């Protein structure tokens, strides 16, 4: 059994344990962020919390979507403490709590997947229409490298207000909002099915990496040496920027 495979196995076990511990915290975080977003003026910002929709047999769950004339804000909520390290293109980020380290999926990648699904659902491919935001609780200390919008919960509304350029008309805002409301299939049973789908997707990705294949494009994973040690990078770089450490 290779060192790489053992690393992947321990990553899976760690993520499974965290998944058992954190669901209630995650839901509590989503409720708090929903309360923060409820303070946005309703006439300008249409908020949808816990959006779940299906496409071609695959489900997508998004914590919060805010539809406005200034764009469609897609928000991924995280309720973590400790120091959070990571970068835009890393497969995993690291949570450090008093020297104990845990891995979490890169939420920027997670939200990029949400936006791709929204583009297909709404049939809108404009690059500047969707704004990805990853919002952590203030219990975390963020040490994130890159250009992604990774902020704290209490910064959310101010960040949303910082977008001033009108992209959608009032009629288009209403049309998008109603389309998302119509597509929302949120229910306890559908949420359970979504969790099963996510677990299957994680297994496929981990299996691909264990076989040294890129889970994003199918390319080979090539061992490289970087400033912070060895890591694997997709052979299709720079077209595909997948990395695994």
Q: Which helix (H) or strand (E) holds 195?
A: helix 188-210
Q: How far apart are CA 11 and CA 95, in angstroms?
A: 13
**CA distances for 46 relative to 4, 139, 190, angstroms:** 45, 28, 24
CB 184 within 8 A of CB 61: no
CB 111 within 8 A of CB 74: yes
Task: Output the average pLDDT for the chain.
Answer: 83
Q: How many CA atoms lie within 13 A of 34 on its CB side?
A: 13
CB 116 within 8 A of CB 176: no
Q: How far apart are CA 45 and CA 67, in angstroms?
A: 6
- Each residue's pLDDT tens digit, 139-162: 999 999 999 999 999 999 999 999
- Each residue's pLDDT tens digit, 86-139: 999 888 899 999 999 999 989 999 999 999 999 999 999 887 999 999 999 999
In b/e form, how buried is each residue of 199-217, taking b as 16+ CB within 10 angstroms? eeebeebbeebbebbbbee
Alpha helices (H) along the chain:
3-21, 23-37, 107-122, 156-161, 170-183, 188-210
Q: Which residue has the higher pLDDT, 231 or 67?
A: 67
pLDDT score of 34 more than 50: yes
Q: What is the pLDDT of residue 10?
A: 47
Q: Are β-strands 130-136 and 71-78 bridged in parallel, bridged antiparallel, or unpaired?
A: parallel
Q: Residue 244 — φ and ψ, nearest 5°?
A: -145, 130
What does pTM read for this prediction? 0.71
Q: Which helix (H) or strand (E) holds 111?
A: helix 107-122
């Amino acid at each position: 059994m290779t060192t790489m495979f053992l690393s992947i196995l321990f990553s899976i076990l760690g993520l499974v344990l965290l998944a058992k511990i954190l669901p209630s915290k995650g839901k509590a975080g989503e409720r708090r962020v929903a309360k923060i977003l409820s303070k946005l003026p309703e006439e300008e910002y249409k908020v949808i919390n816990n959006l779940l929709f299906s496409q071609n047999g695959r489900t997508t769950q998004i914590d919060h979507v805010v539809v406005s004339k200034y764009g469609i804000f897609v928000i991924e909520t995280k309720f973590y403490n400790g120091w959070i390290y990571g970068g835009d293109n890393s497969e995993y980020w690291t949570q450090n709590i008093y020297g104990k380290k845990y891995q979490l999926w890169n939420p920027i990648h997670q939200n990029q997947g949400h936006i791709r699904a929204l583009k297909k659902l709404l049939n809108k491919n404009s690059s500047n229409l969707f704004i990805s935001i990853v919002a952590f609780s203030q219990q975390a200390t963020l040490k994130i490298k890159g250009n992604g919008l990774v902020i704290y919960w209490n910064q959310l509304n101010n960040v949303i207000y910082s977008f001033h350029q009108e992209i959608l008309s009032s009629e288009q805002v209403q049309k998008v909002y109603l389309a998302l409301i119509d597509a929302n299939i949120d229910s306890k049973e559908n949420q359970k099915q979504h969790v099963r789908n996510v677990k299957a997707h994680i297994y496929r990705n981990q299996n691909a990496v264990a076989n040294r294949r890129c889970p994003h494009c199918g390319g080979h994973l090539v061992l490289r040496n970087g400033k912070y040690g060895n890591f694997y990078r997709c052979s299709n770089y720079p077209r595909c920027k997948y990395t695994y450490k």
